[in-house]
Copies of this chain bind each other. A is one copy, B any other.
Amino acid sequence: MNGRKMLLLRPQLVDAQDPTKFRPGTNTIIAVDSVGAGIGEMVLFTQGSSARLAPSMKDAPVDAVIIGIVDTVDVLGKQIFSARSQ
């Protein structure tokens, strides 16, 4: 695992009461970064054996990998997140 950047993630859930916004989950995920994500960015991560299919993760003992940076999120036809407006 030498030389890999690991990031702390807090999963974001779509709020059940108000689906126009995210609410932070309570758990913390440690994921290997494969895309060069920065602090505070909204990212997409994959878990389990699928994480090892991310670029250069083959045969690494990783169970969570960041595979993308999120541009926008739409819920019920309405944009609730945009990386540009952050």
Contacts and interface: CB of A to CB of B under 8 A. Distances in A.
Given A13-B27, A14-B10, A46 B67 contact: no
A60 B50 CA distance: 7
Contact of A30 (B30, B44, B53): B44
Please classify how large the interface on chain A is, using the bins under 10, 10 to 19, 20 to 34, 35 or more. Answer: 35 or more
Contacts of A73: 8
A3 interface: no
Nearest to A57: B61
Q: How many copies of the chain does the oligomer comprise? A: 5
The 5 closest A-B pairs by CB, nearest first: A53-B61, A50-B63, A54-B61, A13-B28, A14-B28
B1 A67 contact: yes
A38 to B, nearest CB: 11
